[in-house]
Amino acid sequence: KAGVTQTPRYLIKTRGQQVTLSCSPISGHRSVSWYQQTPGQGLQFLFEYFSETQRNKGNFPGRFSGRQFSNSRSEMNVSTLELGDSALYLCASSQDGNYGYTFGSGTRLTIV
Amino acid sequence: GESVGLHLPTLSVQEGDNSIINCAYSNSASDYFIWYKQESGKGPQFIIDIRSNMDKRQGQRVTVLLNKTVKHLSLQIAATQPGDSAVYFCAENAGGTSYGKLTFGQGTILTVHP
């Protein structure tokens, strides 16, 4: 059974640009969560989507947004990129958002 | 301002030894706990989980112990192998409306010497 797929694997952007990252969950999983991982802050929760609705949100500025489609695939968008947004962005899928979270390999975003 | 990197605890063992990685959690409402292994350049890989109504759970070569009284979680790896070298994270979920939200520990670097 296919795992969680994140695209692209690597991305380089310049300050002020925006970026969209994609996550395809495990088949049958309806919950997708996003995390940011940096050496300074570790793994931090961004938001969670279930059935196209955001149910939970972490403490990130409004420049970070997301959405989920009817097939459960999810995208996250970061606008007006800052150097501090350089990180590994991970998504995790779960059947219901309560248990059994499986992570993808992440998108390494570098801001120059 | 200058950012300060996390100083991760480290554990160094010999191949074949048993390893114990510890984690303290702060939210007494947490009711679900997971251990993940993360290798360089990869996403966290599920190892084992436990719900708050249990105090011990075993998998293949791994055991998780949960002590809710002192809010402590541990991961025991039996007969540690070089392939076990990685960063290990504990994560907790508070249940209720904490959908999809895992709170992660800082991680522990495990190095296994052949």
Q: Check residue A1 and give its pLDDT.
A: 65
CB B47 within 8 A of CB B62: yes
Q: Check residue A2 and give its pLDDT.
A: 82
3-state secondary structure of A101: coil
Q: Is the peptide bond before A61 cis (omega within 30 degrees of 0)?
A: no
To the nearest whole angstrom, how far is the Cα of B61 from the nearest Cα of chain A?
20
Q: Do A45 and B102 touch (CB under 8 A)?
A: yes
Q: pLDDT tens, B65-84?
A: 999 999 999 999 999 999 99
To the nearest whole angstrom, how far is the Cα of B36 from the nearest Cα of chain A?
10
Question: Strand pairing partners for B113?
Answer: B14
Length of chain B: 114
A91-95, A99-103, B76-80, B93-97: which has the minimum mean pLDDT?
Answer: B93-97
Q: pLDDT tens, A45-86?
A: 999 999 999 999 999 999 999 999 999 999 999 999 999 999
**Residue B42, CA distances (Å) to A88, B36, B62, B69 in order:** 10, 12, 21, 34
Q: Do A101 and B45 touch (CB under 8 A)?
A: no
Residue B74: burial class (beta carbons within 10 Å; 0-12, 13-18, 19+): middle
Query: A43 CB near a chain B CB, below 8 Å?
Result: yes
Q: Which residues of chain B have pLDDT under 50?
A: 1-4
CB B36 within 8 A of CB B91: yes
